[in-house]
């Protein structure tokens, strides 16, 4: 038994999926561990904290196990799993949005029709570090459009908003990211240069 468990981590995704479908807990555990870091990297983009991201990862993996018999093995597992993670994050957003107001009314945005230019120095790590400051709806719209590749019509359908509202949220998210970048990252770089 111990030997079988030690070899489980060397198995292919398909073998882990087949074992999981047979109800073998060590195959399920190995599948979870194999994709945990990846799942967290996706979930953290949709949340304000690591705890919320962990909740999304765990909830989405439970959905994976519930729907594993519907998985098309001719397609990459990772692609199928990311859709479940994103949908779980969207479901979490919808649940939270019923409890609180969508927009922060005191935020000032001008030039809403124009997309701001993001400086080339703004790295992916900078964006992720600043993401915790974005309102949930901006974060969600930004991720769905810029990272997951949905268009505004699809985002509107998913979130129950118009495509023009989706465009507006994306513009505002980019503008706020730029403002946060200037305030936190760019100013800290200048302070470091001055030392």
Q: Which of 97, 112, 136 is the last residue of a domain?
A: 97
Range of the domain at 154: 124-194
Assigned domain for 115 exists: no
- CATH code of 66's domain: 1.10.1740.10
On whether both 141 and 73 belong to a single domain, the answer is no
State how far the Cα of 63 lies from the Cα of 48, in Å rounded to an integer: 22
Span 170-176, mean pLDDT?
92
In a domain, 17, yes or no: yes
For 19-56, the pLDDT digits (tens) are 999 999 999 999 999 999 999 999 998 887 889 999 99
Residues 136-150, mean pLDDT to the nearest whole number: 91
The answer as to whether 110 is a domain residue is no
Instruction: Give the single-character DSSP code of 179.
Output: H
Q: How confident is the model at residue 94 (pLDDT cuts 50, 70, 90)?
A: confident
* C-beta of residue 17 within 8 angstroms of C-beta of residue 77: yes
The model carries a pTM of: 0.70
Residue-wise pLDDT for 47-73, tens only, equals 878 899 999 999 999 999 999 999 999
Q: How far is the C-alpha of 180 from the C-alpha of 118, rounded, in Å?
A: 11
Decide if pLDDT at 129 tops 70: yes
The CATH number given to whatever domain includes residue 136 is 1.10.10.10
Distances (CA, A) of 76 to 13, 72, 80, 110, 168: 9, 8, 7, 43, 34
**What's the structural domain count of the chain?**
2
């Amino acid at each position: 038994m111990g030997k079988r468990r030690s070899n489980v981590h060397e198995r292919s995704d398909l073998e882990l999926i087949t074992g999981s479908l047979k109800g073998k807990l060590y195959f399920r555990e190995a599948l979870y561990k194999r994709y945990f870091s990846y799942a967290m990297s996706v979930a953290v983009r949709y949340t304000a904290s690591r705890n919320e991201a962990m909740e999304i990862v765990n909830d989405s993996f439970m959905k994976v196990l519930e729907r594993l018999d519907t998985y098309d093995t001719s397609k990459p597992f990772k692609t199928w799993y990311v859709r479940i993670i994103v949908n779980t994050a969207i479901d979490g957003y919808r649940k939270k949005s019923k409890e609180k107001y969508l927009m922060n009314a005191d935020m000032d945005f001008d030039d809403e029709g124009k997309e701001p230019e993001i400086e080339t120095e703004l790295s992916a790590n900078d964006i992720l570090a600043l993401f915790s400051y974005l309102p949930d709806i901006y974060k969600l719209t930004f991720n769905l459009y810029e990272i997951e590749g949905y268009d505004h019509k699809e985002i509107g359908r998913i979130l129950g908003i118009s495509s023009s509202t989706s465009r507006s949220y994306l513009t505002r998210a980019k503008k706020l990211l730029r403002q946060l970048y200037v305030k936190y990252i760019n100013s800290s770089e200048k302070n470091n240069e001055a030392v």
